[in-house]
Structure 1
Amino acid sequence: MSNSRSARSGGSDSRFFTTTKKGETHELRLELQSPNRDKKKDAVKKVIANMTVGKDVSMLFTDVINCIQTENIELKKLVYLYLINYAKTQPELTLLAVNTFVKDAKDPNPLIRALAVRTMGCIRVEKITEYLCEPLRRALRDDDPYVRKTAAVCVAKLYDINAGLVEDQGFLQVLRDLVCDPNPTVVANAVAALSEITDTGGKDVMQITTATLQKLLAALNECTEWGQVFILDSLAKYDPVDGVEAEGIIERVTPRLQHANSAVVMSAVKVILSYLDLITNKDTERVFSRKLAPPLVTLLNSEPEIQYVALRNINLIVQKRPKILEHEIKVFFCKYNDPIYVKMEKLEIIIRLVSDRNIEQVLLELKEYAQEVDVEFVRRSVRAIGRCAIKLERAADRCISVLLELIETKVNYVLQEAVIVIKDIFRRYPNKYESVIGKLCENLETLDEPEAKAAIIWIIGEYAERIDNADEQLDHFLETFEDESADVQLQLLTATVKLFLKQPDTTQDMVQRVLHMATEDSDNPDLRDRGFVYWRLLATNPEAAKAVVLGEKPTIADDTFTLEPALLDLLVGQIATLASVYHKPPEAFVTKAAPVKDARADEAEEDFDEYEEEDAAEGSSMGGGGGGGAQESSGGNAVDLLDMGDLSIDSGTSNGGGGGGGGGGAFFAPSAAAPPMVKHQVCTAEQGQGLQISAGWANKGGKLSLEMDFANAGPAPLVSLAIQLNKSYFGLSPAQPQIVLPSPVPPGGAASYRQALSTAAAAAASALPMALNPALMAPPGAASPAQPLQCAIKNMTTGAVIYFSVPMDVSNVLSADGQLDKATYLSYWKAISDALEVQSVITDAPGMDVKAVTAKLAARNIFFIAQRDAGAAQVAYYSFKVAGALLVLLEITVQPGQIAVCVRTDAQPYAQPAKALVESILRS
């Protein structure tokens, strides 16, 4: 009966979404003011319906708030929902509801108490926050578990708004106490809130003890499925005391592997994998490992999206512990109706699980896949056959046979992929399968893809002495040398030189022709360089040429898509998260995420174990706080509002009367870590055609901005301006190209853009925010960090363009928030590829030790992290931020007579300028 009644009710509510009458807002206002309770409730429903479909109903804010004083829970929920949506746009009016919130937080009905606390937490208005603390404190100690669980989540929301307030009020400790609450739902929400705070704040606030561990394990069997996920994720971060405790936890977690929710299953798998290394009894470890296989296999019977996520996680598990699924390879065989993304992942896992025992059935499957209709899947399948041959030496013969059968099909893309993988097999097993070459050479005419051409050319050059007409085969490709891709040209050059070294009497003209085309007719620097190297080798020392070109090649292995051990361990600990799907650490794709320093951070510090911070270095650490991920902001300079004209980047003088820091000579003038802002008159009224400008740099909260004062001495009001910056050392650019004043500046009036921003909707920031744009970086050697920044402003009223320079000090650009703790520094250092590292050695700097280097760098907002001794050398580590956006990591090795500088940043265009900046500071 109740179900049918609710169905009828739901059907009647749908009418609220179909109102499109004119003058509807006025009618709604009248209905909201109606004394009839039902009519008022229907009016609020109409407002919510309009809000849901995207209509702006903020003009009814006061009328809706007046409906908040009601005993009807349904109406109160609707009003609270409206408040959550529009509170940010009407912060002053939202204060009118505070008394109702406080009153409802003491209501006898626990549903209303919880609703009031939840709504106050969702309203992200700073003025509301101060009224939330007392009701929240009562709610956290409430007798009703529903109120307590709601309040626990509210603490995490409050932490996101004002972290300091949560810590000062002691809410974190209350949350930790709630982990031992008798109600499992409250425990789960407390754990969820602590996890959220850990992710937001970058420090582990969970602090699982032996006592709380038992409470978590007890709550695990009784709380909701999503509560179980949060508890399991927390357990995965816990360090058991020994193998016995780890074994006990695994026993308690194992039943979760049979859960219907795949998220619970994957979180349980993560816990078990995290603890398996601690179990010393191999038989017990084997038993637990065997229990992981069935739930993972079961996930592959879900819908394709869940299959894909499961397969990405299984890929990690198989790399870490291949024996878990070694007998389950058949479940990864592709079905005809699998989506392509699922097929690709299954194929990758098949290759990881293939062994001498199952290679026959795998090859039969792969052969079938190679005859499918999806071209990309067919290519990957053919390549998988080659990878199986490289991985399993005993199966190489069978793999070659299958590849030859596929070549016989004469399907063009199959043939081309087969040639590519056979080349890799030749490299893995040299001088073993030369009988195949004849079959490959029969199909030369059909090869049209660069990679396939390069592969067959490599084979011809490598085995030229065993191919009767190798010169003719290469000559066939040389006819179109200029039209080939760079990879094919490089292979042709090398193969021809190999052929000449093996058959010098008949191929001299050919090699001369190829060398001439490579060195004289080509624009490709790689091809030219290789051509000159070969020419010089052949002309001066043919024996050396043979040793270089025909030398023994290293054995290759199949490491496609294989992760580094350290990254693999990190990702296995992140199973059931996005990191395990992307196969990237969280900080690589979540820019707000700060790496969490937990109880295991010290163990992960590796080389940092030896570091000892010195007193002098501690004194020089002027900044605070951990840094976020290295980011690169583009500046919005796509709008070409100005023409910089003949303004030269080398000019060191200001157009105005500002003076300051020329372009050449000494690098910087001494400055404090956060120099006080000094405004210079950079443009007189005469130079600015009636517009007088004063400007100075502000660096507040790590954000660089340009503060400007305008005085209008012209005949017309000043309404808006457009600004553009010339190329500079770090590529500074305005985050917004236009300056819109809140009100026109009349002739004879003045305005500060700092004040303008504080009254406009742009936020109470400090003037024109600056971003980093690689496109605006000056060419190497064309500018210095201390050079004035050259600007152009266009008066959009008169059309006048004014040029001026703003004096710059390097301490303006380097932020005061660039210091990291050791664990955070280490995680960032590992996340940045070695290939992005730049190095140099300074031999002309005055003799200094680490203390002197640290003191000199600290004066420029480059912060000391740690140091260690390496024999006669001292190694120190530093970090700094450019314009509050670009994080740079620094390693300096001080030895007698020289200083080695190593810079790492994932914003590659800035690596060299950052290195040059450090070198100049050390030389100054």
Structure 2
Amino acid sequence: MSDAKYFQRGKIQELRSELNSEKKDKQYTKKKTVLKKIVANMTMGNDMSPLFSDVINCMQIPVLEIKKMVYLYLINYSRSKPDMAVMAIPNFIKDVEDRNPLIRAFAIRTMGYLNVDKIVEALVEPLQHALKDQDPYVRKTAAITVAKLYMHNKTLVENEGFIDKLRDLLTDANPTVVANSVAALTEISERSEKISVKLNMTIAFKLVGALNECSEWGQTYILESLMLCVPQEMGDAEMLCERIAPRLQHANSSVVLTAVKVIMYFMNYMTKEEDINMNCRKLSPPLVTILSNGPEVQYVALRNILLIIQKRPEVLRKDMKVFFCKYNDPIYVKLAKLEIMFRLANASNVDHVLSELKEYATEVDVDFVRKAVRSIGRLAVKIEVTADKCISALLELIQTKVNYVVQEAIVVIKDIFRKYPNQYESIIGTLCENLDNLDEPEAKSAMIWIIGQYADRIVNSEELLDDYLFTFLEEPVEVQLSLLTATVKLFIKKPTAGQSLVPKVLKWATEDVDNPDLRDRGYIYWRLLSTDPTAAKTVVLSEKPRISTESDNMEPSLLDELLLHISSLSSIYHKSPQTFIHHSKPRQLINSPVLNSRNTVQNGKQCKTTLFDAELNDITSGNLGNYESNPYHVDVVNIGDRTPNNLLLDL
């Protein structure tokens, strides 16, 4: 609070006169005060650029605190005043040769921030020396500055050999320098289309050895870099995982999640099932521990856990109770937990899960209740032995007459009917009692499907459909499609009752609507019924494959890709980074003699199977080259089109 007095609007002329005052100031106290005022005004958005030359003159004062404020000022205004920023070059050259390593490091770092051509050119030689500086703080700062310089001028970095010097720093005695070098190389490879980094096992083990002495930030970057290592022999992946496992006990959630990602990655290169299972057991406790953090960290962990258990369901299989929702959990945490509870549910724990879901369905949060009700229905589809209990629970919820609960229940009961045909028709009467309360398209469509599917068993099915048809042209397309199919089913099953409804529905669908899907389906039904009623019956009433919850699973190739991005935004969005980050490099498992056969890549893509329901209304939805490891040699080789522009750093 003592610095709050500086955050007052200052006049340029007054600040300039104070800054250039010739009064005795041996400790430079007055200079510090004026610079603090300038930085405070700059922070508030006031234009302090007219003081550029006056502030630059303060760079000659050999006080670290003053230099920091001057550097901050230069970073802020160098883009708007590039010509004046060049005036600071002589002072920068002096600072990079200062006896104080902190001043040398700050000068190098600040020059790296300034995207001014002449300053970038002037930075090259000092940066060359800084990478070999005796002080490790200067070296680690210089390593990161190389990555910043690469953003300004890629060609300059490559031509001056900075990438080779970064590679040499991987063998530095100081672990912080190693971590920063790894971070810089990783950043450069991510931004470059020409440069890729690959680690051999010797370098990988050296990096793992430096973990204990690194900061949390450094550990995260070193662990991240291990994703660039591709095991080539049996036992390599297991040894690396054993060395990484202590990071799972770290207090920092980022370190833990990154360690989880690396272990998940190396599991793909393990040949023995017992080794994979052992590592899966190691992942459970740290993931449970992360869930004791705040809701934001919990949510990140939950989104990552959802990916992990789809690939390795044995992880957290015995920790179901951890995901039971607490009364004070935010809604986004509750919804994430519900999805994981459903994924982990099996015949042995489903009773506990169902009991929890019934409790959640009586809460006040609408979204949470909807998700809970839907999860009950999905449980019935997933686990056959619990279908009766789930139906009973859904009927109890329908009796509450809460509108949104009833509608969600009807939606999932439709799926249960499809999964278990001819088993639960006795509850149709109860469902029909709630027809007047349905106002959501999905619930209407579900109820209409039930009426059409069991038209011959519902006494007044034609009357129920006729009520819905009264507003056919005003209904959403989803409901119109259901009504069209249900009416045709009614006609096929009860010709006398449906003969008055079918012509007008087909006429509406083919002449009075604009939606091409609805119109085409109307024409198909019309031609089937008019040409060959027997064929129409065979098509419309054909036995359809039972649905399953496997359609909820993520596409295997996308899942494998997202698992390589655990602890990143990609794993939270559940989207490939290429969809929201420009020029992001794709990641995929690289072929190796020990790559698990279940993860083999065929022609750069994994095979994908899609199942189509036969009913018109219910369509359900490179070999990159072997990595040659050389434990005793670090080399730069040409790849791709064999031109010098494509570099692969084989470390």
Query: What TM-score comes out, normalization by structure 2 length?
Result: 0.89
User: Are 1:16 and 2:6 counterparts?
Assistant: yes
Contact kept? 2:201, 2:229, Cα under 8 Å: no
Residues 203 and 302 of structure 1, relative CA distance in 2, 3 Å threshold: farther
Aligned to 1:589: 580
Letter in 2 for 1:459: I
Contact kept? 1:203, 1:596, Cα under 8 Å: no
Aligned to 1:479: 470
Compute the displacement of 1:514 (Å).
2.4
Residues 493 and 597 of structure 1, relative CA distance in 2, 3 Å threshold: closer
The match for 1:363 among 350, 354, 369 is 354
Aligned to 2:241: 250
RMSD (Å), alpha carbons: 2.3
Q: After superposition, what is the alpha-carbon deviation per residue over 1:19-66, rounded to whole angstroms, capped at 9, x for unaligned?
A: 235xx1101111111233322221111111111111110010001001
Residues 606 and 259 of structure 1, relative CA distance in 2, 3 Å threshold: closer
Residues 343 and 96 of structure 1, relative CA distance in 2, 3 Å threshold: same
> SS at 2:235's partner residue?
helix
> SS at 1:152's partner residue?
helix
Residues 588 and 523 of structure 1, relative CA distance in 2, 3 Å threshold: closer
Aligned to 2:163: 172
Alignment of 1:78-227 (within 5 A): 78-227=69-218
User: Are 1:34 and 2:16 counterparts?
Assistant: no
Letter in 2 for 1:327: K
Aligned to 2:497: 506
Aligned to 2:542: 551
Letter in 2 for 1:189: N
Letter in 1 for 2:411: I
Compute the displacement of 1:401 (Å).
1.1
Contact kept? 1:188, 1:228, Cα under 8 Å: yes
Letter in 1 for 2:9: T
Q: Could you tell me how far apart the structure 1 residues matched to 2:317 and 2:528 are? A: 51
Aligned to 2:639: none
Residues 270 and 117 of structure 1, relative CA distance in 2, 3 Å threshold: same
Q: After superposition, what is the alpha-carbon deviation per residue over 1:680-714, rounded to whole angstroms, capped at 9, x for unaligned?
A: xxxxxxxxxxxxxxxxxxxxxxxxxxxxxxxxxxx
> SS at 2:245's partner residue?
helix
Q: After superposition, what is the alpha-carbon deviation per residue over 1:309-347, rounded to whole angstroms, capped at 9, x for unaligned?
A: 111100100100011111111111111111111111111
User: Are 1:539 and 2:525 counterparts?
Assistant: no
Contact kept? 2:357, 2:375, Cα under 8 Å: yes
Residues 605 and 121 of structure 1, relative CA distance in 2, 3 Å threshold: farther
Letter in 2 for 1:30: S
Aligned to 1:787: none
> SS at 1:465's partner residue?
coil
User: Are 1:331 and 2:322 counterparts?
Assistant: yes
Contact kept? 1:202, 1:595, Cα under 8 Å: no
Q: After superposition, what is the alpha-carbon deviation per residue over 1:580-605, rounded to whole angstroms, capped at 9, x for unaligned?
A: 11111111100132447996699999
Q: Could you tell me how far apart the structure 1 residues matched to 2:382 and 2:552 are? A: 14
Letter in 2 for 1:235: L
Compute the displacement of 1:281 (Å).
3.0
Alignment of 1:490-529 (within 5 A): 490-529=481-520
Residues 321 and 594 of structure 1, relative CA distance in 2, 3 Å threshold: closer
Q: Could you tell me how far apart the structure 2 residues matched to 1:451 and 1:518 are? A: 20
Compute the displacement of 1:481 (Å).
2.3
Contact kept? 2:79, 2:115, Cα under 8 Å: yes
Q: After superposition, what is the alpha-carbon deviation per residue over 1:389-419, rounded to whole angstroms, capped at 9, x for unaligned?
A: 1111121111111111111111111111111
Aligned to 1:904: none
**Percent identity for Structure 1 against Structure 2:** 56
Q: Which has the higher contact order (CA 8 A, sep 6+)?
A: 2
The match for 1:468 among 444, 459, 468 is 459
Letter in 2 for 1:212: I
Q: After superposition, what is the alpha-carbon deviation per residue over 1:538-571, rounded to whole angstroms, capped at 9, x for unaligned?
A: 1221101101111111221224652111111111
Q: After superposition, what is the alpha-carbon deviation per residue over 1:266-319, rounded to whole angstroms, capped at 9, x for unaligned?
A: 000011111123223333322221110011011111111111111110010010
> SS at 1:141's partner residue?
coil
User: Are 1:267 and 2:254 counterparts?
Assistant: no
Q: After superposition, what is the alpha-carbon deviation per residue over 1:84-132, rounded to whole angstroms, capped at 9, x for unaligned?
A: 1111222222222111111111111111111111111111111111111
Contact kept? 2:216, 2:252, Cα under 8 Å: yes
Q: Could you tell me how far apart the structure 1 residues matched to 2:219 and 2:574 are? A: 24
The match for 1:434 among 425, 432, 436 is 425
Aligned to 2:292: 301
Aligned to 2:637: none
Compute the displacement of 1:516 (Å).
2.9
More strand by share: 1
Contact kept? 2:591, 2:601, Cα under 8 Å: no
Aligned to 1:578: 569
> SS at 1:206's partner residue?
strand
Q: After superposition, what is the alpha-carbon deviation per residue over 1:350-400, rounded to whole angstroms, capped at 9, x for unaligned?
A: 111110011111111111111111111111111111111111112111111
Aligned to 1:416: 407
User: Are 1:563 and 2:554 counterparts?
Assistant: yes
Contact kept? 2:199, 2:230, Cα under 8 Å: no
Compute the displacement of 1:506 (Å).
3.2
Q: Could you tell me how far apart the structure 2 residues matched to 1:216 and 1:266 are? A: 18
Q: Could you tell me how far apart the structure 1 residues matched to 2:459 and 2:490 are? A: 12
Q: Name structure 1 gaps, 5 residues minimum.
A: 1-10, 609-825, 834-865, 867-924
Alignment of 1:881-900 (within 5 A): none
Contact kept? 2:506, 2:526, Cα under 8 Å: yes
Contact kept? 2:302, 2:336, Cα under 8 Å: yes
Contact kept? 2:147, 2:184, Cα under 8 Å: yes
Contact kept? 1:383, 1:421, Cα under 8 Å: yes
Q: Could you tell me how far apart the structure 1 residues matched to 2:205 and 2:485 are? A: 67
Contact kept? 2:529, 2:536, Cα under 8 Å: yes
Letter in 2 for 1:265: V
The match for 1:406 among 388, 397, 404 is 397
**Mean CA deviation greater in 501-510 or 581-590:** 501-510
Q: After superposition, what is the alpha-carbon deviation per residue over 1:481-511, rounded to whole angstroms, capped at 9, x for unaligned?
A: 2332222222122111111111113332222
Letter in 2 for 1:28: L
Q: Could you tell me how far apart the structure 1 residues matched to 2:213 and 2:559 are? A: 33
Letter in 2 for 1:183: N
> SS at 1:31's partner residue?
helix
Question: Alignment length, in residue pairs?
Answer: 602
Query: What TM-score comes out, normalization by structure 1 length?
Result: 0.63
Contact kept? 1:198, 1:596, Cα under 8 Å: no
Aligned to 2:385: 394
Alignment of 1:718-737 (within 5 A): none
Residues 830 and 26 of structure 1, relative CA distance in 2, 3 Å threshold: farther
Structure 1 runs of 4+ with >4 Å offset: 596-608
Aligned to 1:51: 42
The match for 1:488 among 469, 474, 479 is 479
Q: Could you tell me how far apart the structure 1 residues matched to 2:438 and 2:69 are? A: 68
Alignment of 1:764-775 (within 5 A): none
Contact kept? 1:229, 1:264, Cα under 8 Å: yes
Residues 205 and 506 of structure 1, relative CA distance in 2, 3 Å threshold: closer
Aligned to 2:53: 62
Q: Could you tell me how far apart the structure 1 residues matched to 2:317 and 2:202 are? A: 38
More helix by share: 2
Letter in 2 for 1:13: D
> SS at 2:496's partner residue?
coil
Letter in 2 for 1:167: E
Q: Could you tell me how far apart the structure 2 residues matched to 1:439 and 1:292 are? A: 46
Q: Could you tell me how far apart the structure 1 residues matched to 2:35 and 2:480 are? A: 73
Q: Could you tell me how far apart the structure 1 residues matched to 2:76 and 2:245 are? A: 42
